[in-house]
């Protein structure tokens, strides 16, 4: 089975590594507009070969889009002439607008997915063979996908040892705003709040595990996350409002020295880890 991966960064490169453990089952063909990414993907053996043209990718049995959301939407418009048996899987971080933008003629070819994994690093050199192992893979609006395409996608996800859950696209986008998109905004805010102080280097010299953990994802690609924030704007704003209300509540309790209430507030937050 020929697997065409469009986008050879962290997600695409890691997928290539994971699938290369099945050399008799999959041939991994890579495609990326970035020449350096192409060179690195070959050198690091993330793929078996580079596509010589986009038509070579379109002729693959499976096409996987591990590129930003806007690029997924744009690329989907160019895939209307793939073969009927082709399976197209997108790894976009917001699903509603992708789902709505897929040309109807190839909607059954599409499996819209979101792997709930990643790191703050990007590019082929960031690829990790076990990136998807035991991580949640959300599949959205599966009733719109063809039976063959669902079977192919589920088998592939089983091979990379991902844990599949099913969800509607709108539900996914609401949940992802709280669990992924808003935390990235918070991390960027934490980083900027320090960098705008008079002597940020002295502040950072005191940084321990807590600060490093909370600010780590602020190293994520601004290009990718601007795209995600734009695509999931309304849900992100809702989650940010909820977060800001909790921050204001915390600030008010500290200002008014309501230490007992603050303690209860923190205790309530502890309960999150009972369900994680």
pLDDT score of 136: 94
Strand partners, 49: 29
- For 136, phi then psi, to 5°, come to -75, 130
CATH node for 2-167: 3.40.50.720
Report d(CA 228, CA 232) in Å as an integer.
Answer: 6
Residue-averaged pLDDT of the chain: 92
Whether 2-167 shares its CATH topology with 172-274 is answered: no
How far is CA 252 from its chain centroid?
35
Q: What pLDDT band is residue 63 in, cutting at 50, 70 and 90?
A: very high
pLDDT score of 202: 76
Strands (E), 93-141: 110-115, 136-140
Tens-digit pLDDT profile for residues 169-216? 999 999 999 999 999 999 999 989 888 887 878 777 777 777 878 888
CATH of 172-274, one of 2.30.30.180, 1.10.3660.10, 3.30.1300.10, 2.60.40.10: 1.10.3660.10
Q: Is 6 left (phi over 0), alpha (psi -120 to 50) or beta?
A: beta
Q: Report the chain's terminal Cα–Cα distance, integer Å.
A: 37
Question: Are the beta carbons of 7 and 122 closer than 8 angstroms?
Answer: no
Tens-digit pLDDT profile for residues 32-50? 999 999 999 999 999 999 9
The structure's pTM equals 0.84
pLDDT score of 163: 96
Tens-digit pLDDT profile for residues 226-252? 988 998 999 999 999 999 999 999 999
Query: Where do the domains of the chain lie?
Result: 2-167, 172-274
- Beta-carbon contacts of residue 218 (< 8 Å; ≥ 6 apart): 120, 184, 187, 188, 190, 191
Q: Inform me whether the pLDDT recorded for 91 exceeds 90.
A: yes
């Amino acid at each position: 089975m020929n697997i065409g991966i469009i986008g050879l960064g962290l997600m695409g490169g890691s997928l290539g590594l994971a699938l290369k453990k099945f050399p008799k089952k999959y041939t991994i063909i890579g495609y990326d507009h970035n020449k350096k990414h192409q060179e690195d993907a070959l050198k690091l053996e993330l793929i078996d070969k580079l596509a010589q043209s986009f038509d070579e990718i379109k002729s693959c049995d499976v096409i996987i889009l591990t590129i930003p959301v806007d690029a997924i939407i744009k690329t989907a418009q160019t895939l209307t002439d793939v073969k009927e048996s082709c399976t197209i899987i997108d790894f976009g971080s917001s699903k509603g607008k992708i789902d709505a933008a897929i040309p109807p003629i190839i909607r059954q070819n599409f499996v819209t997915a979101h792997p709930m994994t990643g790191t703050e690093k990007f590019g082929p050199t960031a690829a990790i063979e076990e990136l998807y192992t035991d991580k949640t893979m959300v599949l959205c609006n599966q009733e719109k996908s063809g039976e063959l395409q669902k079977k192919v996608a589920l088998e592939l996800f089983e091979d990379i040892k991902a844990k599949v859950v099913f969800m509607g696209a709108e539900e996914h986008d609401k949940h992802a705003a709280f669990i992924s998109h808003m935390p990235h905004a918070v991390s960027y805010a934490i980083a900027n709040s320090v960098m705008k102080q008079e002597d940020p280097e002295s502040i950072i010299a005191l940084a321990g595990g807590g600060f490093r953990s909370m600010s780590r994802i602020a190293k994520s690609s601004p290009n990718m996350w601007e795209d995600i924030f734009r695509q999931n704007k309304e849900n992100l704003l809702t989650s940010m409002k909820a977060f800001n209300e909790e921050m204001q509540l915390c600030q008010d309790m500290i200002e008014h020295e309501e230490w007992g209430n603050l303690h209860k507030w923190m205790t309530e937050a502890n309960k999150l880890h009972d369900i994680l």
